[in-house]
């Protein structure tokens, strides 16, 4: 075994076992010049010192003085917890389980009183912890002056959200009001980015979920999808588009006929024998045909509009009934 390996094993186990300690001392005789030996000597010096009786275990009456008791604002506790007091007259509160019986509670309080100094009600009460580690300071230049900015007006909805957040921070003790500060900064609301729902595909990759047709948002809250009204009854025509088509007058040119047939053809699945009804109008779209909107074309035009107004609802077939 190498010297460094032997030193590492002895350092890990030699402080708790006498045989390892003896092996470590034997190794040190041969390696007094090793840079890590000074640290080992310090550990042995700490071990050889007699254990001093902890003053925490011997609490004096002065430690429980009501004059030294911290002023703590007792806030409502959630269900299952309650306050217990280590001192007299409801001083030195601690939070305990509500399910403890009187004997268990008294036993717990006796143990907590032995180590009362380990309990801190503020950063200054915690021994060994410097308040500077938990304090944030902003170093300013000597010639800097305080800046006071007035709060900007917020919209009513956002104002209510800010009010709830401020009250939540005040109740939790994270912030507290200051009336005479030379520095005043308004509240800035930074909205979070909107999240998306992700799912795993067949390759176990996370992809954003969306509708089948790829829309980023709902088209209409009434169930209008691609010009058709979707409901529990089935698929219907969009009444708003039908009303516009019904109010159209007779076509005056080939362009008007083509436009009308284009809109009406979108709902041709709702009109039985649509191609037969629209045949007089489609003849006007042929090349080298004179545009003559006669009585036959007028009847076809009116019949298509009536069919659109009374268009049926397309439903899935009922397989329990004969076709």
Same domain membership, residue 278 and residue 229: yes
From 104, 125, 146, the end of a domain falls on 125
What is d(CA 98, CA 82) in angstroms, rounded to the nearest whole number?
A: 5
Nearest Cα residue to 63 out of 143, 117, 123: 117
Same domain membership, residue 232 and residue 274: yes
Indicate the SS3 state at residue 37: helix
Mean pLDDT score, 302-308: 85
From 75, 109, 125, the end of a domain falls on 125
- b/e burial code for range 244-263 (CB count within 10 A of at least 16 → b): ebeeeeebeeeebbeebbee
> pLDDT tens across 179-191, in order?
777 777 777 777 7
Does residue 166 fall inside a structural domain? no
> What one-character-per-residue DSSP string does 216-262 give?
SS-S-TT-EETTEEE-SS-EEE-HHHHHHHHT-----SHHHHHHHHH
Identify the pLDDT of residue 101: 92
Identify the pLDDT of residue 263: 81
What is d(CA 93, CA 66) in angstroms, rounded to the nearest whole number?
A: 12
Query: Mean pLDDT for the chain?
Result: 72
- Residue pair 303/309 in contact (Cβ under 8 Å)? The answer is no
- pLDDT band at residue 308, thresholds of 50, 70 and 90? confident
CATH number of residue 299's parent domain: 3.30.70.270
Instruction: Give the end-to-end CA distance of the chain in Å, rounded to a whole number.
Output: 92
* Residue 121, C-beta contacts closer than 8 angstroms, at least 6 positions apart: 70, 72
Does residue 233 fall inside a structural domain? yes
Same domain membership, residue 43 and residue 66: no
Same domain membership, residue 26 and residue 99: no
Which contiguous run of DSSP H or E holds residue 81? strand 81-85
Partners of 78 in beta bridges: none
- b/e burial code for range 279-302 (CB count within 10 A of at least 16 → b): ebbeebeeeeeeeebeeebeebbe
> pLDDT tens across 44-92, in order?
554 454 444 444 444 455 555 666 777 777 888 888 888 998 888 888 8
Does residue 243 fall inside a structural domain? yes
Does residue 74 fall inside a structural domain? yes
Same domain membership, residue 230 and residue 271: yes
From 106, 125, 144, the end of a domain falls on 125
Same domain membership, residue 263 and residue 295: yes
Q: Is pLDDT at 97 greater than 50 in this prediction?
A: yes
Nearest Cα residue to 280 out of 288, 268, 289, 269: 289
Mean pLDDT score, 301-306: 86
- pLDDT band at residue 103, thresholds of 50, 70 and 90? very high
Of residues 199 and 17, the one with the higher pLDDT is 199
Does residue 92 fall inside a structural domain? yes
> pLDDT tens across 3-40, in order?
444 444 444 444 444 555 555 555 555 445 555 455 55
Mean pLDDT score, 290-317: 82
Does residue 73 fall inside a structural domain? yes
109: phi then psi, degrees, rounded to nearest 5: -65, -35
> pLDDT tens across 204-253, in order?
776 666 555 555 555 554 566 677 777 767 777 777 777 888 888 888 88
Identify the pLDDT of residue 86: 86
- Residue pair 87/64 in contact (Cβ under 8 Å)? The answer is yes
Same domain membership, residue 11 and residue 70: no
Same domain membership, residue 70 and residue 11: no
Q: What is the DSSP letter of 39?
A: H
Does residue 56 fall inside a structural domain? no
Same domain membership, residue 294 and residue 230: yes
Mean pLDDT score, 252-276: 85
Identify the pLDDT of residue 15: 44
Q: What is the total count of domains within the chain? A: 3
Does residue 210 fall inside a structural domain? no
Same domain membership, residue 303 and residue 228: yes
Q: Is pLDDT at 111 greater than 80 in this prediction?
A: yes
Identify the pLDDT of residue 38: 53
Same domain membership, residue 33 and residue 84: no
- Residue pair 69/92 in contact (Cβ under 8 Å)? The answer is yes
Nearest Cα residue to 114 out of 144, 86, 82: 86
Identify the pLDDT of residue 42: 54
Same domain membership, residue 78 and residue 44: no
Tell me the residue range of the domain where 86 lies.
61-125
């Amino acid at each position: 075994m190498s010297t460094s390996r032997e030193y590492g094993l002895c350092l890990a186990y030699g402080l708790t076992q006498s045989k390892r300690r003896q092996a470590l001392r034997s190794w040190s005789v041969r390696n007094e010049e090793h840079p890590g030996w000074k640290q080992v000597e310090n550990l042995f010096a700490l071990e050889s010192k007699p254990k001093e009786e902890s003053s925490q275990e011997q609490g004096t009456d002065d430690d429980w003085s009501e004059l030294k008791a911290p002023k703590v604002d007792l806030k409502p506790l959630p269900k299952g917890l309650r306050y217990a007091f280590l001192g007299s007259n409801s001083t030195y509160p601690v939070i305990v389980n509500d399910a403890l019986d009187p004997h268990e509670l008294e036993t717990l309080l006796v143990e907590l009183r032995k180590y009362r100094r380990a309990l801190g009600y503020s950063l200054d009460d915690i021994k060994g912890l410097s308040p500077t580690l938990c304090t944030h300071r902003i170093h300013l230049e000597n010639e800097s002056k305080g800046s006071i900015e007035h709060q900007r007006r917020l919209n009513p909805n956002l104002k209510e959200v800010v009010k709830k957040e401020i009250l939540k921070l005040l109740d939790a003790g994270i912030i507290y009001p200051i009336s005479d500060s030379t520095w005043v900064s308004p509240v800035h609301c930074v909205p979070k980015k909107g999240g998306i729902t992700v799912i795993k595909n067949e390759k176990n990759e996370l992809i954003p979920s969306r509708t089948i047709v790829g829309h980023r948002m709902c088209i209409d809250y009434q169930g209008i999808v691609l010009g058709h009204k979707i409901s529990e009854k089935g698929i219907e025509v969009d009444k708003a588009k039908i009303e516009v088509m019904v109010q159209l007058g007779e076509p005056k040119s080939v362009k008007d006929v083509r436009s009308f047939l284009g809109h009406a053809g979108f709902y041709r699945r709702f009109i039985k024998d649509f191609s037969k009804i629209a045949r007089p109008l489609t003849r006007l779209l042929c090349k080298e045909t004179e545009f003559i909107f006669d009585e036959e074309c007028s009847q076809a035009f009116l019949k298509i509009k009536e069919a659109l107004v009374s268009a049926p609802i397309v439903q899935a077939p009922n397989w329990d009934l004969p076709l």
